[in-house]
Amino acid sequence: MPDSPKREYFGTDGVRGPYGGPVVNADFFARLGAAAARWLAARGVRSGSVLIGRDTRSSGADLVRALGAGLCDGGAVAISAGIVPTPAVSRAVVLKGAALGAVVTASHNPSTDNGVKFFGPDGAKLTDADEAAIEALMAPADPGRVPPPPDGEEMPGESILESYVQAALRILPPDSLRGWTIALDTANGATCNSSAAALYFLGARLSCLGDAPDGSNINRGVGSEHPEALGALVVSSRSRLGVAHDGDGDRCVLCDETGSVLDGDEVLAILATHALARGTLAARTLVVTVQSNLGVDVAVASAGGRVIRTPVGDRYVAERMRREGASLGGESSGHIVCFDLGPTGDGLAAALKVIAVMLETGRPLSDLRKVLRKYPQLAASLTVREKKPVEGLPTLRAAIAALEGKLGESGRVLVRYSGTEPKLRFLVEGPTHAAVRSGIDSLVAAAKADLEAK
């Protein structure tokens, strides 16, 4: 993939940071909204509608108002969708014929963070080039000058949640989950109403966790980043499976009936191999990121398919899926993209797709997951003050080269900066847990030596 255009504010998944910080505040969001409107106008779209959703963070209402005011100041029409999952906005942009969609969210980050991600008229996330072009149109900072809504009126609203739930319900036959108990963790986030409603309509009995948002408890000890409590709930409630989302609902992490956690790689392996067996996996191709376990490649190849890898980020997965004519892709973090349902990660759709496999095969999740035999893998991260280029860290570069030489074709090494947090991330796969642990320790020590050097 060619180098991405340089962007100052946009990262792997939109703009994100601490609320009240230099980029996540009302002034910045107003300027960003105005720039997005100017970008639309430059593309020949004037007075286009922009659908804005958000998650449950208390800071979201302020940022939606500011973003909407900026959009209107730039000539667009801002429409509030309220608290809705990210994939609901992606879908509604297409159905409503909107010029853009925006979701004010910091996804799986803590409640003190917030951010925004944009979707084009096709429901897909904007490209790096699009984001760079919007940044180039931003006016200078003017603290305290957030333009008011036109004529002092409140932003008009649009209800999109019901149609999103109805679309999800079409994945399974009516009442197909009658007699099932499912543990559901909605991370005190945007899916509290939608995922529960869909599963109830299908006949399931629910044991719920993370379903009482108060504006400050999103992702706190619950959700896809913290599935331990969900695993315990699965066991205590005797559920068939557990489903966990992140704060904005574009991720899916599962627990089998024993309470053991399945990550996105396992979900993708189940869906891909099942589709290959039925002859329904488009281009016989699964698209994943560089972070997915090597075992995914082995499982898919054994079933007669192929795996293609992209940089980290579900939008890069979706972009590659379009180029390859693929229908399924995603990330180990739980972003699962099913093009027959939408062009972005959808936690509810992914969960229902896996349940469909369970219903069709009659096999429990603990058995289905055996299709993926993971290579030993460890990940670590190091908080940094400055994201110095890895190429300029000589001790770390030497450690990477030595480890890659040692592992050969029996493993791999990935070192990258987070696109959403001030962290240097490490991932090592290898033939044994001991080799992986030793490799991770050597990389972290080398990075510390470089970053702490005067």
For the domain 264-346, what is the CATH code? Answer: 3.40.120.10
Q: What is the pLDDT, as a whole number, of residue 305?
A: 98
Residue boundaries of the structural domains of the chain: 15-159, 162-262, 264-346, 377-451
Q: Are 329 and 322 in contact (CB under 8 A)?
A: no
The residue from 59, 80, 90, 107 that is catalytic is 107
Could you give the CA distance from residue 193 to residue 161 in angstroms, rounded to a whole number?
9
Q: What is the pLDDT, as a whole number, of residue 396?
A: 97
- The pairing of beta strand 241-244 with beta strand 181-185: parallel
The residue with tokens 């996330």 is 125
Could you give the CA distance from residue 255 to residue 240 in angstroms, rounded to a whole number?
9
Beta strands, E only, 57-124: 77-83, 100-104, 113-119
Q: What is the pLDDT, as a whole number, of residue 155?
A: 84
Q: Which residues contact 370 (CB under 8 A, 6 or more apart)?
A: none
Structure tokens at 102: 């925006």
Query: CA 438, 439, 441 angle in degrees (round to 5)?
Result: 65
Could you give the CA distance from residue 240 to residue 116 in angstroms, rounded to a whole number?
35
Q: What is the pLDDT, as a whole number, of residue 139?
A: 86
Q: Alpha carbon of 127 to those of 12, 121, 218, 317: distances in Å?
A: 10, 12, 28, 12
Could you give the CA distance from residue 331 to residue 341 in angstroms, rounded to a whole number?
17
Q: Which CATH superfamily is domain 377-451 in?
A: Alpha-D-phosphohexomutase, C-terminal domain (3.30.310.50)
Which residues share a beta bridge with 335?
251
Correct CATH for 15-159 of 3.40.50.10140, 3.40.120.10, 1.10.240.10, 3.40.50.720: 3.40.120.10
> How many residues can be counted in the chain?
454
Q: Are 350 and 316 in contact (CB under 8 A)?
A: no
Q: What is the pLDDT, as a whole number, of residue 141?
A: 81
Could you give the CA distance from residue 245 to residue 171 in angstroms, rounded to a whole number?
18
CATH class of the domain defined by 162-262: alpha beta
Q: What is the pLDDT, as a whole number, of residue 419?
A: 75
Q: Is-catalytic flag, 163?
A: no
Same topology between domain 264-346 and domain 377-451: no
10-residue averages of pLDDT along the chain (454 residues): 75 94 96 97 94 98 96 96 98 96 97 98 96 94 69 77 96 97 98 98 98 98 96 98 98 98 98 98 97 93 97 93 97 95 95 98 98 94 92 96 92 88 92 95 96 75
Structure tokens at 369: 């997951």
Half-sphere exposure for 109 (CA within 13 Å, toward CB): 24
pTM score over 0.85:
yes
Sort 3 into a burial class: Cβ within 10 Å, 0-12 / 13-18 / 19+: exposed
